[in-house]
Amino acid sequence: MCLMPLLYWWLRDWKTFLIVTTVTQLPYLIFSWKIIESPEWLWVNKKPKKCIRQLRHIARVNNASLEKDTENKILSESHTTGNEEALGPLELFSSRRLAINTFLQLCLWVSVTVSYIVSLLSSGEKSDGNPFLEFTWQALIEVPAHFSAAWLVEQLGRRYTSAASSGFTCILWMILGLRELDVFSWLNQGYIGTIIGIVNRFSITIAYYTINLLNMELYPTRLRQSGMSLGNIVSGGAAAVAPYILYVVCKLSS
C-alpha cells in the first residue's frame, strides 16, 4: 500500500502500473499449490488419511510428532450423515442475543468499511497536497495503527476500543464536513487536511482491527465461520457501494 502510489507516481501510466502490480502476484500463483489444506476440513469431509498426512507435515515443521493415539482416533472416528448438523447464516439469528450481536456487528462492518474505502479513495483530494504522498502517509500510518489496536484491545477491551475508535472517526468526518462548508477558515489550511486524513485513517484501521477480532470472539465456535463469512459478505457489499456514496457527495457539493 505504501509503495503503490510511489510506483504509480514514477510510472505515470495506468496500463504499465496494472501490468507491474499484476506480475508481483505470479510467485503466489506458481507456489500456491504448496499451501496445505485445512486438516479440519479434510476430517469433516471424510478424508482422514489426508488429514493425518497434513497433521504430520505440520508437526514436522514445528519439530514435533503426531501421536499414534491421535492418528487412530482420527481413523476410527465415524462420520454419519445423521449426526451432522448443517449450520447456515440463519443460525446467527436463532436467539435474541445472537441476533442482536449479529445486527450490531453488521452495522459496524458497514460503517467501518464505508469509512475505510471513502478514506482510501479521497486521500489527498481535500488536503491540497501531493496526492501520491498523501496516499503514502495514510497507508504508512496503518502499520502503527495495527500495533496500537492490539495494545488497546488488551488494555481497554474490545468493546471500549471499538466504541472509541468509531466515535473518534465520526468526529473526524464531521470536521472534514465543516471544512468543506468553510465554517472555520483555519480548517482550510492544506496541512490541516493532511493531518486529519492521516489521523482518520489511523482511527479507522483500529476500528477495522477491532471488528475483525470481535467477529471471531463473540460467536460460539460452531458459528464462528458463518459469522465471519456473513460479516465479510456485508463488508464487500459496503465496499462496492462506498465509491457511489463518494460520487454522490462530490456531485452534491460541486
DSSP string covering the chain: --HHHHHHHHH--HHHHHHHHHHTTHHHHHHGGGSPPPHHHHHHTT-HHHHHHHHHHHHHHTT----HHHHHHHHH----GGG-----GGGGGSSHHHHHHHHHHHHHHHHHHHHHHHHHHTTTTSSSS-HHHHHHHHHHTHHHHHHHHHHHHHHT-HHHHHHHHHHHHHHHHHHHHHHHTTSSGGGGSHHHHHHHHHHHHHHHHHHHHHHHHHHHHSS-GGGHHHHHHHHHHHHHHHHHHHHHHHHHHHHHH-
Q: How far apart are CA 54 and CA 49, in angstroms?
A: 9
Of 210, 213, 218, give the one whose Cα is nearest residue 99. Answer: 218
pLDDT in tens, 143-184: 999 999 999 999 998 889 999 999 999 999 888 878 777 777
Percentage of the chain lying above the pLDDT 70 cut = 93
Which pLDDT value is given to residue 201?
93
**Measured between alpha carbons, how far is 193 from 50 in angstroms, rounded to an integer?**
55
pLDDT in tens, 79-96: 544 445 556 778 888 888
Contact 127, 134 (CB under 8 A): yes
Tell me which range, 10-14, 122-126, 180-184, 248-252, is most confidently predicted by mean pLDDT. 10-14
Q: Model confidence over 192-248: pLDDT tens digits? A: 888 888 999 999 999 999 998 888 888 887 788 888 888 889 888 888 888 888 788
Instruction: Please indicate whether residue 4 or residue 168 has the higher confidence score (pLDDT).
Output: 168
pLDDT of residue 82: 43
Sorted by where each begins, the domain ranges of the chain are 36-83, 91-253
The larger pLDDT score, comparing residue 251 to residue 98, is at 98
Q: What is the pLDDT of residue 128?
A: 65
Domain 91-253: state its class: mainly alpha
User: Based on C-alpha coordinates, what's the Rg of the chain?
Assistant: 23
Q: What pLDDT was estimated at residue 165?
A: 94
Taking the whole predicted model, whether its pTM rises above 0.85 is answered as no
How would residue 78 be classed by pLDDT, with cut points 50, 70 and 90?
low
